[in-house]
A and B are shown apart, each in its own frame.
Chain A
């Protein structure tokens, strides 16, 4: 295809366009130098191809040079003339200023503050609505969705057992191994059992499992509820006279509150097993010795402290996940943003709550 070109014909005071004026033209031709005589005519006899992109480019090039509205189109083929006229009619729309100016710092701070306030108001609304729904449900327990609860427990607990066990098992292995390296220097091999038991049951298992569940189930819940909002399923639930809170949110929250302590217990067992394997291989502590020592030093209290934190973590993860899901707007971007936000908020909440628990337990002397 011949490249697009523009030439100036001084004899006829006309501009001649030639070649293929199409959108895929790599470089648009420059406007040739014009004589002082006013240009009145645009000659299109030599144009081989013209599409709207090319026509716009042609008009835009001419526009740079001056007024194009009075230019007479001559020798265009009917098809090209139709396109050129169509584009010429719509050309003014492309002259509107582009890119509205970026926001200043102050505007951004203002917008951020507004978003923060909206977020807090939304949170208060959510908690209030949730409490109200729970009270309603308590008065009429027959309306509880047992099936949904079962499905959620399956998704949050049963399907998460392998990954939770594997992760805490490996943490137990690493923890026992690193502690063993130090303990061996002092001949304090047996105390590795104390360390592993306390660390796994009290801190590692609850916190890591909670973070895992936040990333796994929390994200899934937000994405699911958000997508249901996009496809208007939430609206459908409402118009059927049901409450999305009692149908969707409450079963998820309860499933999490049931599942997380159970997963933490699975994690406890796996972590201790991991420690036991390392103790047997590296520190010459037989499984029998390990169990005896565990029996002596691992108090029920330590395990209960770990298990007791789990429902609180679960409550926060569930509330954050469901709220962010229901707060999603009706587009894919918002669902993605809210899912990210759920994971971040949940993990921060778990770590903050864990710190609060640590302080409380110290003060209570547990």
Chain B
């Protein structure tokens, strides 16, 4: 089945395409020609040591930060060359889960999820709230979480609400910035499986930045390793293990040390 999936995936045009992205921030060279592409339906992880610019790259892909040089394409359109109106249309096609959730603290959970629906669809507000309830249930939250404010929710619940908000507009592409950081192992694994379930049943493409080895081993189709401003490795977890690089060796050894 994995093969069939890969064949289907290989045929389609890339949904994200980076071409020789160079980033210089504050005089420091962060990326020195990063190129890769993501095909529809893939669940892809971006890994790398602290400070190699994973989050910066994510911000460049979603149009929050302009790369110094190179090109970023989303759904075939060059993010930094299209008009503001076209970018606005693109934004409706992807959802982003920020590291700490970034929920609006003045709104309740369901209002947070309904916010993009209100802005970008013509649905009446009652239906927006009902759809928000549906998304809450989809991410596995009990109905009584709907009326709570972010400050009244636990960290894991906040992440789920944020995921529901990212899914509100039924995007084709989902960006997750360290989705399992700050969660206990049980919640983290449950969150992983939720992401995989949603990506399988909704046909989502998922691009996630992570440090979590368990996430890599359980739900990821393909991994991209960022090191020294370049792509060091690109492939399944198994192929990455064969790459001879001190950081990667230590990274995978961290799991072996735990006796898994």
Contact = CB atoms under 8 A, between A and B. Distances in A.
Interface of A: 22-24, 26, 51-54, 56, 60, 79, 82-83, 86-87, 90-91, 93-94, 96, 98-100, 329-334
Contact of B201 (A60, A82, A99, A332): A82
Main secondary structure of the interface of A (DSSP, over half): helix
Given A23-B121, A52-B202, A331 B151 contact: yes
Nearest to B130: A94
Interface in B100-150: 105-106, 117, 120-123, 126, 129-131, 133-138, 143, 146-147, 149-150
Contacts, number: 74
A73 to B, nearest CB: 15
Main secondary structure of the interface of B (DSSP, over half): helix
Given A79-B203, A332-B105, A24 B130 contact: no
Sorted nearest first, the 3 A-B pairs with minimum C-beta distance are A331-B105, A93-B137, A51-B170
A340 B149 CA distance: 21
Contacts of A334: 105
Contact of B106 (A51, A52, A98, A331): A331
Contacts of B162: none
Interface of B: 92, 105-106, 117, 120-123, 126, 129-131, 133-138, 143, 146-147, 149-151, 167, 169-170, 200-203
Contact of B105 (A79, A87, A333): A333
B34 to A, nearest CB: 31
A94 B138 CA distance: 11
Given A53-B121, A98-B129, 6 more contacts: A23-B170, A24-B121, A83-B202, A94-B130, A96-B133, A333-B106
A24 to B, nearest CB: 6
A87 B170 contact: no
A90 B134 contact: yes
A94 B131 contact: yes
Contacts of A24: 92, 120-121
Contacts of A26: 122
Given A51-B202, A52-B202, A94 B151 contact: no
Nearest to A331: B105
B152 to A, nearest CB: 10
Contacts of A87: 134, 138
A94 B133 contact: yes
10 contacts: A23-B121, A23-B169, A24-B121, A52-B138, A52-B170, A53-B131, A83-B202, A86-B138, A331-B150, A334-B105
Contacts of B92: 24
A42 B106 CA distance: 42
A96 B143 CA distance: 8
A100 B151 CA distance: 20
Contact of A100 (B130, B147, B167): B147
B78 to A, nearest CB: 24
